[in-house]
Structure formats: C-alpha cells, structure tokens
A = this chain, B = another copy of it.
Amino acid sequence: MTEPTTRSPGAADDASASRQHTLRERNLRLVARAIYDAAAAPRSPGAVPPSRADVATATGLTRATVSTLVDRLLVARLVTELAPVPAQRAGRPAVPLVPARRTVVGVGLEVNVDYLGVRVLDLAGDVVAERVGTGSFHDSDPAAVLARLGALASDVVAGVQADGMQVAGARLALPGLVDARTGELEVAPNLGWSSLDPVPPLGLGELPVVVANEAKLAALAELAGDVPPSFLYVSGDVGIGGGIVVDGALFLAERGWNGEIGHVVVDPAGPRCTCGAYGCLEQYAGKEAILRAAGLEADAPLDSLVALLRDDDGAAVEQARAAVVRAGQALGSALADFVNLTGVSTVVLGGVYTELEDWLRPEVEAGLADRVLAAPFAPVVVRAAVAGEHAALTGGAREVLREVVADPAAWG
C-alpha cells in the first residue's frame, strides 16, 4: 500500500498555501520553458522571439500573470529583452524575450585518458570561457590530476566571475562507471581510478560539482542540434562509452550503468580486453587499438591517422585504411546489437568517430543493415556528432543550466 499521508488540524490550510506556492513555481517554469523552447526551436527567417503576449498564448496564462513572471526572470537574469519590434497588427511594439547572455553560466569539467578541460557556457548556449590541457592519464594519480583540473577550473571561474557572471554549478565528466543516483565513481578502467569521490580533490570550495559519465554528458550535448528526440550515442576514445537518449532525456535504469558498448562481444575468438573478457569492441575500435592496427603509436595524435587516411597510396595508407575498415565492421556489429536491444533507430557517432566518419560510415551502415531485425521497417540512421570536440564539457555545462531553467524559482 502507498505510504499513509499524515494529517493534522489545519492541514487543509497549509496544503492550500503550499498549492498556491507550487502553482506560482509551476507557472514560472512554464514561462521560462516557453521562452527557452522558442529559442531552441528552428526558426524561419524573419521570425522574432516570443513577446509576453506570445508567451501568454503559448502557456494559456493571462497576460498579467505572464508579465509578473517575466519580470521575475529578468531580475534573476535568466531572460533578456531585445529591442522592441513594430507590432504586426495595431498596438504597442512587441518586446522579444530571449535567454540571457553572459549572466548565469554553467561549468563543464572533464578528465579523460589524454586530456582534461573546463568549458563555461551561458544560457544562450555560447562558450564564454574554455581551457583544455593534454596529458597522459593512464593509471594516473587521481589526487594530482584532479588538483590540476581544479586549478584550471578555479582560474576560469574567477575570470567569468570578474566579468559579472554567476556560476550555477559544474558537472565533472569521467570515462567510467558513475552511479547516476549518487554521483559516485566506481571505476574508470582506462584512468586506473576506482571507488573515490573526485569532488574534494578538485578544491573548488562551495561550487556544487556533480560527477557523471563522459559519454552520457556528450550525448546530452547533441540536444543543442537538430538530432531526433531518441538516439544512441557512442563516444569513441581510448575507451568507448555510450548513452541512450529517449524523448530528449537520458535513459537511466537502476544506476545508469548502460551504454557500455565498448565491452559488447564482437568475436569470442578475439584479443583479450583490459576488462578480462575476449573480443570486446574496444579491442577493435578503441582509439589506441585503431592507431596500433594502423601502424602508429598508441598515443599518436588522431590527426596523424586522418592524414594517412587522406593520403593517396602506399603500404602505410593501406594499413591505416584496413585498420579503420576493421574498426567500422566491429562497430557496425556492436551497434546492431545496441539497436536490436534498445529499439532506438538513430545512431550518433561521437568522440574520435566524428573525425573518422567518412571511413567508418560505410562499414557501420553495412553492419546495421545486415543485422538489425527492424531495419527493413525502420532504417537505422547514422550521423556524426555535431557538438564538436570534448562534447562532454558542453553537455555538462548544459545540464547545469537545464536544471536552472527547469526550476527558476529555486534560482531566482
């Protein structure tokens, strides 16, 4: 049975007051969402952002209510007014409302195997500050690496604060199993980290930092583009991560430890993986596996592989192309499993796969066509990620700001 509700004398009045409060907060959310949805939607040329009257129409609230709530969003610096535009019919000019620029910002942080970084986004989605450093963090000391990232982040945060911006919070992306309910890191195999709370070593004081899986945050970064509402995201790096987005939100059953496509079986007779099993996808399509198979050093820059692939001929070119073809075949096989098991029919290639798209795509598409049972009825669409390099930084900063806009009363 459901938990009994405790009731006391006067509970009706309290409940009514609390309902009023909740209603006002809900309406504030509705108004904020109307303005932000309009900003995110593709617009025809010449269309202008919504005015208070448009927001009233979109939300079904009265103009007076909308005006009061918009004023609250202006004071909280979540929304900005643009210069008035002449009204289409008779009446006062309309004042377009848009997400505010350079007021409230979110911070994306990341440690990955060969880089770490900080990126700050404002509510309009623009990058207002960024710092990325390289390194080799295989089997690294978490305290030292996190302290280095924390110092970088402190610098960046101090800079944006000096410019009058308020930092709402941060997300730290890590390439490993992060409990989506608690933010605890269980293990990041390619970093050699396990069972630690990575927040204190950052030394960022009061700044709220939430830890999340790298591929999941990178997947969320795609939502800024024109991706369909449901898609599978695969993030190629030294390790291979994945995320499942359904109707615009991450799928997070239990602890959210999904999308581990790097360890899907490609060939049980294949090479042994760092996870202990044999023939995992990572052994064919992980960044280091591809570079090695292409005859390059495991830590060679990806550009050197791309240069080889673009070259005209020669044995080195052949070997590089064969390595990427093999990676594409393995990726196609594992992605077919992913699609068959989740029923999501759009695949976004992120991380290093974005740059290798031209060479991977034919093999991936062939594997999906061969193996996806529903492909004749719902062809699988393969697309390259659009969020650019280090997408988890963008996705993390966006998540911070999404929460602010989703609950503006808590912020303003």
Mark A residues whose CB is within 8 Å of B: 1-5, 7, 33-34, 37-38, 41, 50, 54, 57-60, 177, 186-187, 189, 230, 242, 244, 246-247, 251-261, 263-269, 275-277, 333-334, 336-338, 340-345, 370-371, 373-374, 376-378
A264 lies within 8 A of B337 (CB) = yes
A4 lies within 8 A of B265 (CB) = no
Q: Is the interface of A mostly helix, strand, loop or mixed?
A: loop
User: How distant is A35 from chain B, measured CB to nearest CB, in Å?
Assistant: 9
Q: Residue of B at shortest CB range from A61?
A: B5
**CB < 8 Å: which of B54, B247, B268, B341 contacts A261?**
B341
Cβ contacts under 8 Å, A54 to chain B: 1
A260 lies within 8 A of B374 (CB) = yes
B41 lies within 8 A of A260 (CB) = no
Given A265-B336, A265-B337, A342-B342, A260:B373 Cβ within 8 A = yes
Cβ contacts under 8 Å, A374 to chain B: 177, 186, 255, 257, 260
Cβ contacts under 8 Å, A254 to chain B: 230, 343-345, 378
A57, B1: Cα distance in complex, Å: 10
Given A277-B370, A337-B265, A371-B265, A343:B5 Cβ within 8 A = no
B370 lies within 8 A of A2 (CB) = no
User: How distant is A380 from chain B, measured CB to nearest CB, in Å?
Assistant: 11
